[in-house]
Structure 1
């Protein structure tokens, strides 16, 4: 691993691939925020439930590709007990369990060489103070897997960006333009930096993410590229739902956008969102967009209860959209109660020349 300072990834021929492109492995960080040492932001259902849920996600992924669980060395035996022998363990100090956001964004070039971007990780605009160890994960993985690291002062969480692999980046204004993250940059400057560090030529700016999202509206709850030219968006058809106006505005933006390669409008696939669901007086951010494509499968969150009908619709839709993949469903509710879902707790490394 070495840090690159002279050029940007785009100038060096790197790009952020689409999530459907060939993969080397997937990473997860083990849940550790148990309230000790003055930590806040506890899992409301307790550690046992969330560890069982993370283990289910890890074991499901490990059936299709290599899964590496990052955990403090003192938790090695615990992780092994929950996750079994198919899940590999990487012992590193961590503060929390959202590697999509604090981990690296992996890049690839035409020679199938890998690189990664280390964003400035602020723990969602300094909402949580304990994030020193998490901010070091990109550097650690760069060393372990011998991947060069590009570092930037732009504050980005991985859940706040999606790529079509061909130069278009999808994001939200409510996250990247928030003063607590990037007050020193204009929208034009953030656009330029995203393009330079992700190898892009176009940024589609949605106004905001889902209502009540603790991240301020990450795009990975709202919309994603399914493949070049095709975007899936979580749709809201209930005018009494606070997400209705958000969806309406974002849909207009998506319909006005054009695919760079073809010049044509995007095909937009709408997946109906679950009904409004409360937990301890707060609306949960439930999203089918927060799925993870792996080698040969889609790991899809479902939510049960009042969402049983939309769960069924989502499963049928995903079977049509991904006819060549297994659709593996996992109850995402315990993770959502902590502020994210399956996509949020994972980060993929593309297939390329690496360890």
Structure 2
């Protein structure tokens, strides 16, 4: 289904007018549109993202923001959220004004609140000044990342913001502390599409004077709890997101970078889009854990999963050897609306010193009192502070997801920058380049390849392209044909303002791929390979959307959104069950013809070529091309009418040295005389190349005394011929 837009006012366009009504969220995400499991749902920046290779190129060019480094010195462990903290970070989103006002008002009683933004301080400040109390305003400050190095998205329109999303705990700094109370930062990979969020921990390290360490690990902060003493908790989603590592190797990374001496791997909620532990779990103290509980009537599948998690923890010991106590907290009725399931949770809250900010749901409060009673038991002496979260929860998270607290401590700044691993690349891929940039060559099966990067790693690979059986690969081209690919397979872009292109076999007669142009409709222009309305609106594109090649394009709450389904190995097509265009599995198919083939059709009024039909699959099909006026199709080509010059197979001498043969011209369909030089030592006579006659050919000449006698008749014959010519001239 279509990805849910959080529609963050990417902080450069925050409105100062009264908060708009909260629009119903879009339909929930399915596997089709998510290359990874997201903590919430994609923002406009990533839905209209540039290519993976563009993002990886930017990251590679900035190792200071993304390069993998060595681990922190021994003794650093991930901080515990229940220990003293002095700040809470968040990203403000005005479409959720009431939620953020309530959250900031509640949090500033206990800590300072710092708002991350991108060139939007004046707008945000005006809104907060009109809605917050004076004591709350006094504890609010701002950090603007706009002036820092950041990626500017260009497709399908420019998005220039140094902040991509609101999910602060997922991309924000992971604070680690040592026994001396010094605090450093660990920064695992956040989603590739949220490239600017991914850089915020490094930028915070610069501002706070803390050294930043980056492991090669795909990980989000909402899936992590630590007791600060060596015991850590997460879900098995980490293993699914890091399949290149074994479970033991993942444990080692958590030990090296987060100080996790003992890991508890819990089962995530089944069917919930994030897979994060904060949707059903709270670490209340080193020995108290809170686990969600479903009734059989609410969710039988997840009741079993949560019961299994509780059983795993009950009676277990932490790294210090102390037994854990498990508290069960009721899960609110998840419910659903037209757009799908809403995963409400009382565990998606945040501990701030002597308070626990708990999400509550005005319209679904059946279990609220029971949940707060559990919190009061597991958190003695800690005030439970309700923050209404009805509006934010459908977007995939609540208080814990949208905030990051900072532990009390002194900044740890190493004497030297941490050393790079993997040559400072943004990923430590277990891969090597299969080829060199721009290299071409032949595969063992007779197909050819071009060298490029069309996946998620940083290495170049051979991208196979088929060759017909009649023209197997030679020297990197099909049949050794003298042509060059104009682009990479399935690359998209703009020919000009009025035309987009897809790079494929368009049926132009050669065996190389080229940009195949598609004209934009009236009122649209091409940007980033997509035809978009020129007035900046959605134009005639509605929520049902349309397909532009493999790209699904639709309108979401007035924003134009696009997603390249090819990134997930899928195509774009009509999803009948939902009645809109979206990413769909490509239908199994076989080629209906062979690359390079042509034939005539429609009574020779048109020709057909074997090409990509751009109909959702990747198989070759016959593509009709009308012959122009005054031409007809002959042997698969449109040609002008012609007249036979001769009878096929006929030969005659063009001159003394060349023999012409009557040959059928396949391009015109008519016969013509084609001259060819006679071989050395031969001449053309009587329609054939033959050796000149020798002196003894056809006569009885001999040597000796008979020679003079044989010469007389020849002389007389020549004399008679001369007289004949003279007589003719005299006439």
State TM-score, norm by structure 2: 0.43
Per the alignment, residue 246 of structure 1 pairs with: 305
Per the alignment, residue 55 of structure 1 pairs with: 101
Report if the CA contact (8 A) 1:106-1:117 is conserved: yes
> SS at the partner of 1:309?
coil
Per the alignment, residue 353 of structure 1 pairs with: 410
Per the alignment, residue 203 of structure 2 pairs with: 140
Query: How far does residue 257 in structure 1 lie from its aligned partner after superposition?
Result: 3.0
Partner of residue 181 from structure 2, selected from 70, 88, 112:
112
Partner of residue 91 from structure 1, selected from 144, 167, 176:
144
How large is the Cα RMSD of the aligned pairs? 2.1
Per the alignment, residue 176 of structure 1 pairs with: 238
Report if the CA contact (8 A) 2:284-2:379 is conserved: no
Query: How far does residue 87 in structure 1 lie from its aligned partner after superposition?
Result: 1.5
Per the alignment, residue 43 of structure 1 pairs with: none
Query: 1:207 & 1:315 partners in 2: Cα distance?
Result: 24
Per the alignment, residue 371 of structure 2 pairs with: 314
Query: 1:15 & 1:315 partners in 2: Cα distance?
Result: 30
Query: 1:59 & 1:87 partners in 2: Cα distance?
Result: 10
User: Is 1:232 paired with 2:290?
Assistant: yes
CA deviation vs aligned residue, 1:229-263 (integer Å, no higher than 9, x gap):
11111111225514212212222222263222134
Report if the CA contact (8 A) 1:119-1:151 is conserved: yes
User: Is 1:283 paired with 2:283?
Assistant: no
Query: 2:70 & 2:394 partners in 1: Cα distance?
Result: 41
Range with bigger deviation, 189-198 or 50-59: 50-59
CA 101–141 in structure 1, closer or farther in 2 if over 3 Å, else same: same
Query: 2:398 & 2:81 partners in 1: Cα distance?
Result: 16
CA 256–315 in structure 1, closer or farther in 2 if over 3 Å, else same: closer
Query: How far does residue 331 in structure 1 lie from its aligned partner after superposition?
Result: 1.3
Per the alignment, residue 716 of structure 2 pairs with: none
CA 310–104 in structure 1, closer or farther in 2 if over 3 Å, else same: same
Report if the CA contact (8 A) 2:327-2:374 is conserved: no
User: Is 1:26 paired with 2:71?
Assistant: no
Query: How far does residue 6 in structure 1 lie from its aligned partner after superposition?
Result: 7.2
Query: How far does residue 224 in structure 1 lie from its aligned partner after superposition?
Result: 2.4
Query: 2:346 & 2:253 partners in 1: Cα distance?
Result: 29
Report if the CA contact (8 A) 2:68-2:216 is conserved: no
Query: 2:297 & 2:366 partners in 1: Cα distance?
Result: 19
Per the alignment, residue 35 of structure 1 pairs with: none
Query: 1:200 & 1:95 partners in 2: Cα distance?
Result: 30
CA deviation vs aligned residue, 1:207-241 (integer Å, no higher than 9, x gap):
22x243221x1011121211011111111122551
Correspondence list, 1:265-276, <5 A: 266-276=324-334
> SS at the partner of 1:152?
coil
CA 229–319 in structure 1, closer or farther in 2 if over 3 Å, else same: closer
Query: How far does residue 169 in structure 1 lie from its aligned partner after superposition?
Result: 0.8
CA 192–239 in structure 1, closer or farther in 2 if over 3 Å, else same: farther
Partner of residue 195 from structure 1, selected from 242, 250, 255:
255
CA deviation vs aligned residue, 1:270-315 (integer Å, no higher than 9, x gap):
111111311334111111111101022111101122x312112112
Query: 1:143 & 1:299 partners in 2: Cα distance?
Result: 29
Query: 2:104 & 2:338 partners in 1: Cα distance?
Result: 28
Partner of residue 334 from structure 1, selected from 369, 391, 401:
391
Report if the CA contact (8 A) 1:211-1:285 is conserved: no
Query: How far does residue 119 in structure 1 lie from its aligned partner after superposition?
Result: 0.5
Which has the bigger relative contact order, CA under 8 A and spacing at least 6? 1
Per the alignment, residue 160 of structure 1 pairs with: 223
CA 262–12 in structure 1, closer or farther in 2 if over 3 Å, else same: closer
Query: 2:379 & 2:143 partners in 1: Cα distance?
Result: 31
Query: 1:115 & 1:282 partners in 2: Cα distance?
Result: 40
> SS at the partner of 2:346?
coil
Query: 2:185 & 2:92 partners in 1: Cα distance?
Result: 22
> Which protein is richer in helix relative to its size?
1
Report if the CA contact (8 A) 1:212-1:285 is conserved: no
State TM-score, norm by structure 1: 0.85
Query: 2:391 & 2:244 partners in 1: Cα distance?
Result: 36
Q: Which runs of 5+ in 1 are unaligned?
A: 32-46
| Equivalent pairs, count | 323
CA 136–183 in structure 1, closer or farther in 2 if over 3 Å, else same: same
Query: 1:228 & 1:203 partners in 2: Cα distance?
Result: 13
Query: 2:217 & 2:328 partners in 1: Cα distance?
Result: 31
Query: 2:359 & 2:185 partners in 1: Cα distance?
Result: 27
CA deviation vs aligned residue, 1:33-71 (integer Å, no higher than 9, x gap):
xxxxxxxxxxxxxx53x1331232122111211110101
Report if the CA contact (8 A) 2:173-2:200 is conserved: yes
